Structure 1
Amino acid sequence: MGRIIYGMLTSLDGYIEGAAGASQWSGPKEQLHRYFNEMQRNIALDIYGRRMYEVMRVWDTYDRDPSITDFEREFAHFWQQTPKVVISTTLKEVGANARLVSDDVEAAARALKAETEGDISVSGAELAASFGRWGLIDEYQLFVYPSVAGGGKPYFAHGVPLDLKPLGSERLPEDVLLLRYAPAG
Protein backbone atom coordinates (compact mmCIF):
# COMPACT_ATOMS: atom_id res chain seq x y z
CA MET A 1 0.00 0.00 0.00
CA GLY A 2 1.26 3.45 -0.89
CA ARG A 3 1.68 6.44 1.35
CA ILE A 4 0.06 9.65 0.06
CA ILE A 5 1.94 12.90 0.67
CA TYR A 6 0.69 16.41 0.01
CA GLY A 7 3.63 18.80 -0.16
CA MET A 8 3.82 22.33 -1.51
CA LEU A 9 5.92 25.46 -1.20
CA THR A 10 4.06 27.92 0.99
CA SER A 11 4.48 31.38 2.40
CA LEU A 12 4.84 31.93 6.11
CA ASP A 13 1.18 32.92 6.24
CA GLY A 14 0.11 29.71 4.51
CA TYR A 15 -0.41 30.56 0.84
CA ILE A 16 0.80 28.49 -2.12
CA GLU A 17 -0.04 31.26 -4.58
CA GLY A 18 -0.09 35.00 -4.11
CA ALA A 19 -3.18 37.15 -4.47
CA ALA A 20 -2.47 37.62 -8.19
CA GLY A 21 -2.88 33.87 -8.69
CA ALA A 22 0.71 32.99 -9.48
CA SER A 23 3.53 31.60 -7.41
CA GLN A 24 5.34 34.44 -5.74
CA TRP A 25 8.65 32.57 -5.64
CA SER A 26 11.06 32.17 -8.47
CA GLY A 27 12.32 28.65 -9.03
CA PRO A 28 14.46 27.22 -6.28
CA LYS A 29 18.21 27.70 -6.49
CA GLU A 30 20.53 24.74 -6.95
CA GLN A 31 20.71 23.28 -3.43
CA LEU A 32 16.97 23.38 -2.80
CA HIS A 33 16.29 22.18 -6.34
CA ARG A 34 18.54 19.16 -5.74
CA TYR A 35 16.58 18.41 -2.56
CA PHE A 36 13.38 18.37 -4.64
CA ASN A 37 15.14 16.26 -7.29
CA GLU A 38 15.82 13.56 -4.70
CA MET A 39 12.23 13.71 -3.52
CA GLN A 40 10.98 13.29 -7.09
CA ARG A 41 13.38 10.42 -7.71
CA ASN A 42 11.77 8.54 -4.80
CA ILE A 43 8.13 9.14 -5.76
CA ALA A 44 6.35 6.04 -7.05
CA LEU A 45 3.35 7.96 -8.46
CA ASP A 46 2.37 11.60 -8.97
CA ILE A 47 -1.32 12.50 -8.80
CA TYR A 48 -2.26 15.93 -10.17
CA GLY A 49 -5.33 18.06 -10.53
CA ARG A 50 -5.71 19.64 -13.96
CA ARG A 51 -4.23 23.06 -13.15
CA MET A 52 -1.15 21.69 -11.39
CA TYR A 53 -0.60 19.14 -14.16
CA GLU A 54 -0.71 21.89 -16.77
CA VAL A 55 1.91 23.85 -14.79
CA MET A 56 4.14 20.79 -14.45
CA ARG A 57 3.92 19.80 -18.13
CA VAL A 58 6.85 22.11 -18.81
CA TRP A 59 9.06 19.24 -17.55
CA ASP A 60 7.90 17.03 -20.46
CA THR A 61 10.28 18.82 -22.81
CA TYR A 62 12.31 21.19 -20.63
CA ASP A 63 15.36 18.92 -20.75
CA ARG A 64 15.67 19.62 -24.49
CA ASP A 65 16.54 23.26 -23.81
CA PRO A 66 20.35 23.50 -24.02
CA SER A 67 20.43 26.52 -21.69
CA ILE A 68 19.03 24.77 -18.60
CA THR A 69 21.19 23.68 -15.69
CA ASP A 70 22.21 20.11 -14.98
CA PHE A 71 20.00 20.02 -11.86
CA GLU A 72 16.97 21.18 -13.86
CA ARG A 73 17.72 18.54 -16.49
CA GLU A 74 17.98 15.94 -13.72
CA PHE A 75 14.58 16.95 -12.30
CA ALA A 76 13.03 16.77 -15.78
CA HIS A 77 14.36 13.24 -16.17
CA PHE A 78 12.97 12.10 -12.79
CA TRP A 79 9.62 13.79 -13.50
CA GLN A 80 9.33 12.17 -16.93
CA GLN A 81 10.10 8.73 -15.47
CA THR A 82 7.50 8.96 -12.69
CA PRO A 83 4.06 7.59 -13.61
CA LYS A 84 1.33 10.22 -13.34
CA VAL A 85 -2.43 10.20 -12.83
CA VAL A 86 -4.33 13.35 -13.72
CA ILE A 87 -7.72 13.94 -12.12
CA SER A 88 -9.84 16.08 -14.42
CA THR A 89 -13.31 16.27 -15.85
CA THR A 90 -12.28 18.80 -18.50
CA LEU A 91 -9.12 17.32 -20.03
CA LYS A 92 -9.61 14.83 -22.83
CA GLU A 93 -6.02 13.57 -23.02
CA VAL A 94 -2.76 13.71 -21.09
CA GLY A 95 0.89 13.42 -22.01
CA ALA A 96 3.45 10.65 -21.86
CA ASN A 97 3.58 8.39 -18.81
CA ALA A 98 0.24 9.75 -17.58
CA ARG A 99 -3.31 8.51 -17.42
CA LEU A 100 -6.53 10.40 -16.98
CA VAL A 101 -9.18 9.76 -14.32
CA SER A 102 -12.48 11.58 -14.79
CA ASP A 103 -15.07 9.47 -12.97
CA ASP A 104 -15.48 8.14 -9.44
CA VAL A 105 -12.35 9.92 -8.25
CA GLU A 106 -12.57 8.72 -4.65
CA ALA A 107 -12.73 5.05 -5.68
CA ALA A 108 -9.88 5.58 -8.14
CA ALA A 109 -7.78 7.31 -5.45
CA ARG A 110 -8.37 4.47 -2.99
CA ALA A 111 -7.41 1.92 -5.65
CA LEU A 112 -4.23 3.84 -6.53
CA LYS A 113 -3.21 3.92 -2.86
CA ALA A 114 -3.91 0.20 -2.48
CA GLU A 115 -2.04 -0.87 -5.61
CA THR A 116 1.00 1.43 -5.40
CA GLU A 117 4.10 0.53 -3.41
CA GLY A 118 5.96 3.57 -2.13
CA ASP A 119 5.29 7.27 -1.82
CA ILE A 120 2.51 8.90 -3.81
CA SER A 121 2.59 12.66 -4.27
CA VAL A 122 -0.73 14.50 -4.61
CA SER A 123 -0.48 18.04 -5.98
CA GLY A 124 -3.07 20.74 -6.28
CA ALA A 125 -4.79 22.39 -3.33
CA GLU A 126 -8.36 21.48 -4.27
CA LEU A 127 -7.43 17.89 -5.08
CA ALA A 128 -5.49 17.55 -1.83
CA ALA A 129 -8.51 18.91 0.09
CA SER A 130 -10.65 16.13 -1.40
CA PHE A 131 -8.03 13.50 -0.55
CA GLY A 132 -7.90 14.90 2.98
CA ARG A 133 -11.70 14.72 3.36
CA TRP A 134 -11.54 11.08 2.23
CA GLY A 135 -8.87 10.32 4.83
CA LEU A 136 -6.29 9.37 2.20
CA ILE A 137 -3.41 11.73 3.02
CA ASP A 138 -0.77 10.19 5.24
CA GLU A 139 1.55 13.18 5.46
CA TYR A 140 1.36 16.93 4.93
CA GLN A 141 4.63 18.62 3.99
CA LEU A 142 4.79 22.40 4.12
CA PHE A 143 7.94 23.89 2.57
CA VAL A 144 7.73 27.32 4.20
CA TYR A 145 9.49 30.24 2.52
CA PRO A 146 10.36 33.11 4.88
CA SER A 147 7.96 35.49 3.18
CA VAL A 148 4.40 36.69 3.70
CA ALA A 149 2.02 36.59 0.73
CA GLY A 150 -0.78 38.54 2.39
CA GLY A 151 -3.45 36.52 0.59
CA GLY A 152 -4.04 34.15 -2.30
CA LYS A 153 -4.62 30.42 -2.52
CA PRO A 154 -4.09 28.69 0.85
CA TYR A 155 -2.19 25.44 1.35
CA PHE A 156 -5.14 24.13 3.39
CA ALA A 157 -8.59 24.55 1.88
CA HIS A 158 -10.95 26.81 3.86
CA GLY A 159 -13.70 24.94 5.66
CA VAL A 160 -11.85 21.62 5.88
CA PRO A 161 -10.90 21.14 9.55
CA LEU A 162 -7.93 18.88 10.34
CA ASP A 163 -6.33 17.74 13.55
CA LEU A 164 -2.66 17.09 12.90
CA LYS A 165 0.28 15.74 14.83
CA PRO A 166 3.82 16.95 14.12
CA LEU A 167 6.24 14.49 12.55
CA GLY A 168 9.25 16.79 12.49
CA SER A 169 10.86 19.77 10.89
CA GLU A 170 14.00 20.42 8.90
CA ARG A 171 15.80 23.54 7.79
CA LEU A 172 16.52 23.43 4.07
CA PRO A 173 18.55 25.63 1.73
CA GLU A 174 17.24 29.15 0.97
CA ASP A 175 16.02 29.39 4.58
CA VAL A 176 13.06 27.16 3.74
CA LEU A 177 11.63 25.28 6.69
CA LEU A 178 10.05 21.88 6.04
CA LEU A 179 7.21 21.15 8.45
CA ARG A 180 5.84 17.60 8.40
CA TYR A 181 2.49 16.54 9.88
CA ALA A 182 0.24 13.47 9.90
CA PRO A 183 -3.49 13.31 10.54
CA ALA A 184 -4.00 12.99 14.31
CA GLY A 185 -6.83 10.45 14.01
Structure 2
Amino acid sequence: MGALSYTATMSLDGYVADANGDFDRLGPSAEVFQSHVDRMGMVSTEVLGRNTYLLMRYWESAPADGSWGAAEHEFARRWRGIEHIVASSTLTRDDLASERDRLVPDLDLGELERIVAQAAGEVEIFGPTTASAAIRAGLVQNFRFFVVPKVVGGGLRAVPEDTQLDLRLAEHRIFDNGTAYLHYTQH
Protein backbone atom coordinates (compact mmCIF):
# COMPACT_ATOMS: atom_id res chain seq x y z
CA MET A 1 0.00 0.00 0.00
CA GLY A 2 1.28 3.42 -0.93
CA ALA A 3 1.03 6.81 0.71
CA LEU A 4 -0.51 9.87 -0.92
CA SER A 5 1.66 12.97 -1.17
CA TYR A 6 1.27 16.40 -2.68
CA THR A 7 4.29 18.39 -3.84
CA ALA A 8 4.11 22.01 -4.97
CA THR A 9 6.56 24.75 -5.83
CA MET A 10 5.00 27.98 -4.74
CA SER A 11 5.64 31.65 -4.15
CA LEU A 12 6.04 33.03 -0.65
CA ASP A 13 2.41 34.18 -0.82
CA GLY A 14 1.20 30.65 -1.64
CA TYR A 15 0.70 30.54 -5.42
CA VAL A 16 1.96 27.93 -7.91
CA ALA A 17 1.30 30.32 -10.82
CA ASP A 18 0.63 34.04 -11.02
CA ALA A 19 -2.65 35.65 -12.16
CA ASN A 20 -1.60 35.16 -15.83
CA GLY A 21 -0.89 31.45 -15.30
CA ASP A 22 2.88 32.00 -15.47
CA PHE A 23 5.04 29.83 -13.23
CA ASP A 24 8.44 30.49 -14.86
CA ARG A 25 9.47 32.89 -12.09
CA LEU A 26 9.20 29.94 -9.70
CA GLY A 27 11.58 27.71 -11.67
CA PRO A 28 14.11 25.69 -9.67
CA SER A 29 17.83 26.35 -9.34
CA ALA A 30 20.17 23.46 -10.18
CA GLU A 31 20.34 22.53 -6.49
CA VAL A 32 16.55 22.54 -6.08
CA PHE A 33 16.13 20.58 -9.32
CA GLN A 34 18.53 17.92 -8.02
CA SER A 35 16.32 17.53 -4.94
CA HIS A 36 13.38 16.85 -7.28
CA VAL A 37 15.46 14.21 -9.06
CA ASP A 38 16.25 12.59 -5.70
CA ARG A 39 12.61 12.80 -4.56
CA MET A 40 11.41 10.99 -7.68
CA GLY A 41 13.18 7.86 -6.41
CA MET A 42 10.38 7.43 -3.81
CA VAL A 43 7.49 7.89 -6.24
CA SER A 44 5.89 4.89 -7.94
CA THR A 45 2.79 6.64 -9.31
CA GLU A 46 1.92 10.19 -10.41
CA VAL A 47 -1.68 11.36 -10.55
CA LEU A 48 -1.97 14.40 -12.81
CA GLY A 49 -4.65 16.56 -14.32
CA ARG A 50 -4.78 17.28 -18.04
CA ASN A 51 -2.75 20.51 -18.02
CA THR A 52 -0.01 19.14 -15.78
CA TYR A 53 0.19 15.92 -17.78
CA LEU A 54 0.58 17.82 -21.06
CA LEU A 55 3.28 19.99 -19.47
CA MET A 56 5.17 16.99 -18.07
CA ARG A 57 5.22 15.19 -21.44
CA TYR A 58 8.31 17.32 -21.98
CA TRP A 59 10.22 14.63 -20.02
CA GLU A 60 9.32 11.82 -22.42
CA SER A 61 12.29 12.50 -24.72
CA ALA A 62 15.40 14.68 -24.61
CA PRO A 63 15.44 17.78 -26.80
CA ALA A 64 17.36 17.43 -30.06
CA ASP A 65 19.55 20.43 -29.23
CA GLY A 66 21.36 18.50 -26.46
CA SER A 67 20.49 21.12 -23.85
CA TRP A 68 19.83 18.64 -21.04
CA GLY A 69 22.50 17.95 -18.48
CA ALA A 70 22.95 14.84 -16.34
CA ALA A 71 20.27 15.92 -13.82
CA GLU A 72 17.65 16.42 -16.54
CA HIS A 73 18.44 13.05 -18.10
CA GLU A 74 18.14 11.34 -14.70
CA PHE A 75 14.86 13.10 -13.89
CA ALA A 76 13.47 12.04 -17.28
CA ARG A 77 14.62 8.44 -16.74
CA ARG A 78 12.89 8.33 -13.36
CA TRP A 79 9.80 10.08 -14.73
CA ARG A 80 9.48 7.55 -17.53
CA GLY A 81 9.86 4.70 -15.02
CA ILE A 82 6.76 5.47 -12.98
CA GLU A 83 3.06 5.00 -13.65
CA HIS A 84 1.14 8.10 -14.73
CA ILE A 85 -2.58 8.35 -14.05
CA VAL A 86 -4.17 11.20 -15.96
CA ALA A 87 -7.41 12.64 -14.60
CA SER A 88 -9.14 14.14 -17.62
CA SER A 89 -12.54 13.97 -19.24
CA THR A 90 -11.27 15.66 -22.42
CA LEU A 91 -8.14 13.67 -23.30
CA THR A 92 -8.36 10.33 -25.08
CA ARG A 93 -6.09 7.29 -25.01
CA ASP A 94 -4.54 8.57 -28.26
CA ASP A 95 -3.41 11.73 -26.43
CA LEU A 96 -1.29 9.76 -23.96
CA ALA A 97 2.45 9.56 -24.50
CA SER A 98 3.03 6.01 -23.32
CA GLU A 99 1.40 2.64 -22.70
CA ARG A 100 2.24 3.03 -18.99
CA ASP A 101 -0.02 6.10 -18.82
CA ARG A 102 -3.59 5.45 -17.72
CA LEU A 103 -6.56 7.73 -18.34
CA VAL A 104 -9.19 8.18 -15.63
CA PRO A 105 -12.05 10.36 -16.94
CA ASP A 106 -13.54 10.95 -13.48
CA LEU A 107 -11.10 10.82 -10.56
CA ASP A 108 -13.30 10.60 -7.49
CA LEU A 109 -11.98 10.06 -3.96
CA GLY A 110 -12.85 6.34 -4.00
CA GLU A 111 -10.81 5.81 -7.18
CA LEU A 112 -7.92 7.77 -5.70
CA GLU A 113 -8.02 5.62 -2.54
CA ARG A 114 -7.90 2.47 -4.73
CA ILE A 115 -4.89 3.85 -6.64
CA VAL A 116 -3.04 4.52 -3.38
CA ALA A 117 -3.97 1.12 -1.92
CA GLN A 118 -2.62 -0.68 -5.01
CA ALA A 119 0.59 1.36 -5.33
CA ALA A 120 3.97 -0.15 -4.55
CA GLY A 121 5.35 3.16 -3.25
CA GLU A 122 4.47 6.78 -2.86
CA VAL A 123 1.63 8.18 -4.96
CA GLU A 124 2.15 11.83 -5.76
CA ILE A 125 -0.86 13.89 -6.77
CA PHE A 126 0.51 16.67 -8.90
CA GLY A 127 -1.24 19.96 -9.50
CA PRO A 128 -3.39 21.98 -7.09
CA THR A 129 -6.62 21.62 -9.04
CA THR A 130 -6.35 17.84 -9.27
CA ALA A 131 -5.25 17.58 -5.63
CA SER A 132 -7.86 19.92 -4.13
CA ALA A 133 -10.56 17.32 -3.34
CA ALA A 134 -8.01 14.95 -1.78
CA ILE A 135 -6.51 17.78 0.29
CA ARG A 136 -9.94 18.89 1.53
CA ALA A 137 -10.90 15.28 2.36
CA GLY A 138 -7.75 14.77 4.41
CA LEU A 139 -6.41 11.96 2.16
CA VAL A 140 -3.00 13.56 1.58
CA GLN A 141 -0.49 12.21 4.11
CA ASN A 142 2.59 14.16 3.00
CA PHE A 143 2.82 17.77 1.87
CA ARG A 144 6.11 18.80 0.27
CA PHE A 145 6.37 22.50 -0.45
CA PHE A 146 9.22 24.27 -2.21
CA VAL A 147 8.67 27.90 -1.21
CA VAL A 148 10.44 30.29 -3.59
CA PRO A 149 11.36 33.73 -2.15
CA LYS A 150 9.13 35.63 -4.56
CA VAL A 151 5.72 37.23 -4.14
CA VAL A 152 3.41 37.08 -7.17
CA GLY A 153 0.34 38.77 -5.68
CA GLY A 154 -2.33 36.32 -6.82
CA GLY A 155 -3.05 33.45 -9.14
CA LEU A 156 -3.47 29.70 -8.67
CA ARG A 157 -3.23 28.80 -4.99
CA ALA A 158 -1.10 25.82 -3.91
CA VAL A 159 -3.69 24.78 -1.29
CA PRO A 160 -7.46 25.32 -1.67
CA GLU A 161 -8.61 28.47 0.07
CA ASP A 162 -11.23 26.79 2.27
CA THR A 163 -8.90 24.08 3.63
CA GLN A 164 -8.11 23.56 7.30
CA LEU A 165 -5.39 21.06 8.21
CA ASP A 166 -3.35 20.23 11.29
CA LEU A 167 0.13 19.41 10.03
CA ARG A 168 3.43 18.44 11.64
CA LEU A 169 6.79 19.52 10.26
CA ALA A 170 8.73 16.36 9.35
CA GLU A 171 11.69 17.84 7.46
CA HIS A 172 12.99 21.16 6.21
CA ARG A 173 15.89 22.54 4.21
CA ILE A 174 16.98 25.93 2.94
CA PHE A 175 18.68 25.99 -0.48
CA ASP A 176 21.41 28.41 -1.53
CA ASN A 177 18.96 30.48 -3.61
CA GLY A 178 16.69 31.00 -0.57
CA THR A 179 14.08 28.42 -1.55
CA ALA A 180 12.71 26.65 1.52
CA TYR A 181 11.75 22.98 1.36
CA LEU A 182 9.06 22.12 3.92
CA HIS A 183 7.79 18.56 4.35
CA TYR A 184 4.69 18.27 6.52
CA THR A 185 2.71 15.21 7.52
CA GLN A 186 -0.97 15.05 8.44
CA HIS A 187 -1.65 14.64 12.20
Work out the CA distance in 1 between the residues paired with 2:35 and 2:51.
24
TM-score (norm 2): 0.90
Residue in 2 that maps onto 1:52: 52
Post-superposition Cα deviations, 1:106-125, rounded to whole Å, max 9, x if no partner, equal 22211111111221111010
User: Which ranges of 4 or more aligned residues in structure 1 deviate by more than 6 Å?
Assistant: none
One-letter amino acid matched to 1:122: I
Work out the CA distance in 2 between the residues paired with 1:104 and 1:16.
22
CA contact (8 A) 1:7 1:142 kept: yes
Name the CA shift for 1:120/1:63 in 2 (closer, same or farther; >3 Å): farther
Gaps of 5+ in 1: none
Secondary structure at the counterpart of residue 174 of structure 1: coil
Query: Match for 1:95 among 97, 107, 120?
Result: 97
Name the CA shift for 1:27/1:146 in 2 (closer, same or farther; >3 Å): closer
Matched, 1:153 2:179: no
Name the CA shift for 1:3/1:162 in 2 (closer, same or farther; >3 Å): same
Residue in 2 that maps onto 1:22: 22
Question: Which stretch shows the higher mean deviation, 35-44 or 158-167?
Answer: 158-167
Query: Match for 2:113 among 95, 100, 110?
Result: 110
Work out the CA distance in 2 between the residues paired with 1:35 and 1:179.
12
Identity of aligned residues (%): 28
Offset of 1:163 from its aligned partner? 2.6
Gaps of 5+ in 2: none
Name the CA shift for 1:103/1:154 in 2 (closer, same or farther; >3 Å): closer
Aligned Cα RMSD in Å?
A: 1.7
Q: How many residues align?
A: 184
Residue in 2 that maps onto 1:168: 171
Name the CA shift for 1:8/1:177 in 2 (closer, same or farther; >3 Å): same
Question: Which stretch shows the higher mean deviation, 149-158 or 26-35?
Answer: 26-35
Post-superposition Cα deviations, 1:78-109, rounded to whole Å, max 9, x if no partner, equal 11111111111111122212101113532221
Work out the CA distance in 2 between the residues paired with 1:64 and 1:110.
39
